[in-house]
Amino acid sequence: MIRTRFAPSPTGVLHIGGARTALFNYLFAKKEKGEFLLRIEDTDKERSKPEFEKDIIESLKWLSLDWDGEIIYQSKRLALYEEELKKLLDEGKIFWCPHRKEELEIEKQGQIIRKESPRHFCDFREGGGEKGILRFKNDTKEKITFQDLIRGEISFEAELLGDFSIAKSFKEPLFLFANSLDDSLLGITHVIRGEDHISNTPKQLMILKALGLRKPEYAHLPLILGKDKSKLSKRHGAAAVYEYKEQGYLFQTMVNFMALLGWHPENEQEIFSKEELIEKFSIKRVQKAGAVFDLEKLNWLNKEHIKKTDNKTLVDLFSPFLKQEWRKNPEYLGKIVELEKPRIAVLKDIADKIDFFFEEPEFDKNILKWKETQSFEEVKENLSEIRELLKEIPENEFIQSKIEKILLPFADKKGRGEVLWPLRAALSGRRQSPGPFEIAEILGKEKTLKRIENALSLMK
Ligand code: GLU
């Protein structure tokens, strides 16, 4: 059975890159009717923080990337790593290197960054070193080659990798070691991860070989780039997953958007539900080249997913972005949401768009003129006539179709722009808004007439 995992280190909140990795592992596993595991790589005691772990878990839940079984914590598996480290030491495959860790390397983001020349073979590799750190005795002379499912064959000169570090002590395994051991022990068949891990793979293959363990298949995902093709950053609009949630992107949008960061379907389809993605996803269609993060596309997708969402759900989703007193009447809100839905890109935008339904708008009288050339005299005349016509409609028949029927003949006579623009502006107080008939119905007869009155008095 296919089994993948997402293996975040809780040293920061979940960003779009990590979430994309989780998604691809999820889609691949689900497509193959396999399992998707969540493994928290929390062996770095100083840098792992419970709040980051919480953020990662909450973000995955929000994205609906549900993992199978219990979460696996590396910090609970230390005894197991220790046992394997001791075995390797007994077999002479690893050794104690007395050089202080800081002299050799610095560890950053679970990656080892060497300060020294990479061609480093330790003087204590045959033994005699005491304490210090544990390093892998790299005696491999030949090339290490593996078939990456996305990039094809990848080779490394093993010698150039030197004797690399794998643990700070028996109880403090480093990423390279714990990660590869767990992949094998947990029966992970496919490791799908960011391309920044490519250089770790040959070392991990050496470790697995030394342990006599089965190796997984590897697939390294392309980098995510900004529109200017530089590495993705905040400045391109990239944010932590929870920030997208706070701004009002739907989780369906995020899943759809992230899937397209490196993967493309066979046709031109762009809008996908998670279920469709599971059905269509294929690792063969993941590109090698960097995937460009396009904020406009994200906003467009969000609009599309909002349109697909039913009004009741939308009212709930919009609620956190609305003033307390606006939330009192869900039915009224439902009508507004229905009307504004096609115009909203991000949920948080709604508050600015619908305030006039709840509060009388304040505006400059100039916006009542359809065109610069329209005189206030004419606007006044038209609004007064509208007022008289609307007064005739009984309160309980004050609906869009009826209002339209009553006003259109007059508008057709005097010019639609000349009549309907001033009405719309009087009702919304804006240059842009939904049409006047729709707004009038939602506001109701009383408020509609009051706003026309207000507009008239502005022009006195
Ligand atoms: N903990 C590693 C990271 O967050 C996992 C890398 C991997 O997927 O193998 O980068």
326-342 core/surface letters (b: 16 or more CB in 10 A; e: else): beeeeeebeebbebbbe
pLDDT given at position 273: 98
The mean-pLDDT minimum among 94-108, 234-248, 294-308, 309-323 falls in 94-108
Domains 3-70+224-298 and 365-458 share a fold: no
Please report the atom of ligand 1 found closest to the CA of residue 5.
Answer: 8
* Amino acid 121: pLDDT: 80
Atom of ligand 1 nearest to the CA of 183: 9
Closest by Cα among 98, 105, 32, 39 to 73: 39
Query: Ligand 1 centre and the CA of 7: distance in Å?
Result: 5
For residues 104-119, average pLDDT = 51
* Domain at 365-458, CATH from 3.90.1150.10, 3.40.50.300, 3.30.420.270, 1.10.10.350: 1.10.10.350
Model confidence pLDDT, tens digit, residues 164-205: 999 999 999 999 999 999 999 999 999 999 999 999 999 999
Average pLDDT value for residue range 29-34: 98
CATH superfamily of 77-221: HUPs (3.40.50.620)
Average pLDDT over residues 211-223: 97
C-alpha of residue 185 to centroid of ligand 1, in Å: 16
Residue nearest to atom 6 of ligand 1 (CA): 7
Using DSSP, state whether 72 is helix, strand or coil.
Answer: strand
Structure tokens at 221: 């995902």
Q: Residue 416 has which token pair?
A: 């639609």
Closest approach atom of ligand 1 to CA 18: 4
Indicate whether 99 pLDDT > 80. Answer: no
Task: Give Rg (Cα) of the chain.
Answer: 31
d(CA 283, CA 37): 18
* Pocket mutation for ligand 1, best pick of 193, 198, 215 (most atoms within 8 Å of C-beta): 193
234 assigned to a ligand binding site: yes
What mean pLDDT do residues 360-380 have? Answer: 96
- Give the closest residue (by CA) to ligand 1 atom 3: 8
Q: Ligand 1 center to residue 259 CA distance, Å?
A: 19
**What does the mean pLDDT of the chain come to?**
93
Please tell me the predicted confidence (pLDDT) of residue 235: 85
**Residues in CB range of 413: below 8 A, 6 or more apart:** none
Pick the atom of ligand 1 nearest to 196's CA: 10
Domain spanning 3-70+224-298: which superfamily? HUPs (3.40.50.620)
State pLDDT tens for residues 314-360: 999 999 999 999 999 999 999 999 999 999 999 999 988 999 999 99
Q: Among this protein's residues, is 234 annotated catalytic?
A: yes
151-161: pLDDT as tens digits? 999 999 999 89
Alpha carbons 224 and 230: distance in angstroms, whole number: 9
Distance CA 41, CA 35 (A): 19
**pLDDT (0 to 100) of residue 119:** 45
The per-residue pLDDT for range 227-273, each reduced to its tens digit, is 888 888 888 877 899 999 999 999 999 999 999 999 999 999 999 99
- From 4, 28, 56, 197, mutation site for ligand 1 pocket: most ligand atoms within 8 A of C-beta: 197
Ligand 1 binding pocket (C-beta < 6 A) is: 7-9, 41, 110, 179, 191, 193, 197
d(CA 229, CA 84): 43
Query: If you average pLDDT over residues 4-14, what whole number do you get?
Result: 97
- Which atom of ligand 1 approaches the CA of 11 most closely? 4
| Residue 233 CB-half CA count within 13 A | 5
Q: Which residues of 156-172 are buried (b: 16+ CB within 10 A; e: fewer)?
A: bebeebbbbbbbbebeb
CA distance 208 to 206: 5
pLDDT over 70 for what percent of the chain?
A: 95
Mutational test site, ligand 1, from 4, 9, 52, 220, max ligand atoms within 8 Å of CB = 9
Domain-by-domain residue ranges, the chain?
Answer: 3-70+224-298, 77-221, 309-356, 365-458
Q: Cβ contacts of residue 154 below 8 Å, gap of 6+?
A: 145, 146, 147, 148, 198, 201
Q: How far is the CA of 198 from the centre of ligand 1 (A)?
A: 11
Spatial distance between the Cα atoms of 295 and 336, rounded to a whole number of angstroms: 27
Residue 297: the pLDDT is 97
Q: Which of 234, 312, 323, 405 is catalytic?
A: 234
C-alpha of residue 431 to centroid of ligand 1, in Å? 51
Give mean pLDDT, residues 416-433.
96
Structure tokens at 265: 């379907």
pLDDT confidence of residue 127:
81
CATH number listed for the domain at residues 309-356: 1.10.8
Contacts of 60 (CB under 8 A, 6+ apart): 6, 14, 19, 22, 38, 66, 67
What pLDDT sits at residue 115? 52
pLDDT score for 118: 43
Report residue 395 as tokens.
Answer: 């309160």
Tokens coding 158: 């093993």
Please give the distance, rounded to the nearest whole angstrom, from the Cα atom of residue 451 to the centre of ligand 1: 60
Burial 400-427 (b: 16+ CB within 10 A, else e): eebbbebbeebbeeeeeebbbbbbbbbb
Predicted confidence band of residue 100 (pLDDT cuts 50, 70, 90): low
